[in-house]
Amino acid sequence: MSDQSGFFQRVYEVVKQIPYGYVTSYGSIAEYLGSKGSARMVGWAMNGSHNMPENIPAHRVVNRNGMLTGKRHFGGPDVMKELLESEGILVENDQIIHFKKKFWNPAEKLR
DNA sequence: TGATTGACCAACT
DNA sequence: CAGTTGGCCAATC
């Protein structure tokens, strides 16, 4: 049975709706879900995204500083960076350039 | 089954 | 100004 009662499911739904070439933050997703304290859980959910039957663009989710904190969970030290640059997002020193310009806030876009 | 951790964020000291 | 703590939920030890 699909557990719709899971916090993770809701996170996946939001992450999957992130448009190409844009990024968001863990805290913003958590805040959209109604709990900014659950920002850590968003990262946890991404950890289980590999078990998801669908493709979760977890590389479009970074921390509040636009830093690729979870790059090491992609199986490589620069996999996340390559994915972001592949979408037109410039990354330098594990940090997204013009992050504010590429930021996609679910609380404002999805509402 | 209780305690700890975990891809975070913000407030307090 | 920098370090610590609290908060949230779920998974691992």
**Which positions on chain C have an atom < 7 Å from some protein CB?**
6-11
Reading chain A (111 residues) residue by residue, the pLDDT tens digits are 555 668 999 999 999 999 999 999 999 999 999 999 999 999 999 999 999 999 999 999 999 999 999 999 999 889 999 999 999 999 999 999 999 999 999 999 997
Q: Within a domain: residue A30? A: yes
Residues in reach of strand C, judged by a CB distance below 7 angstroms, are A 5-8, 35-41, 44, 48
The SS3 call for residue A55 is coil
CATH assignment of the domain containing A11: 1.10.10.10
Separation CA A77–CA A80 (nearest Å): 8
Q: Give the model's pLDDT for residue A111.
A: 79
The number of domains in chain A is: 1
- The confidence score (pLDDT) of residue A83 equals 97
Predicted pLDDT of residue A4 = 66
Distance A101 CA to C11 C1' (A): 35
**Domain, as residue range, for A73:** 3-104
Taking the model in full, what pTM does it have? Answer: 0.93
User: How far is the C-alpha of A38 from the C-alpha of A94, rounded, in Å?
Assistant: 23
Q: Are A93 and A63 in contact (CB under 8 A)?
A: no
CB of A65 under 7 A from strand B? yes
How many angstroms separate the CA of A65 from the C1' of B1? Answer: 38
Q: For residue A46, what pLDDT is reported?
A: 96
A45 lies in a domain?
Answer: yes
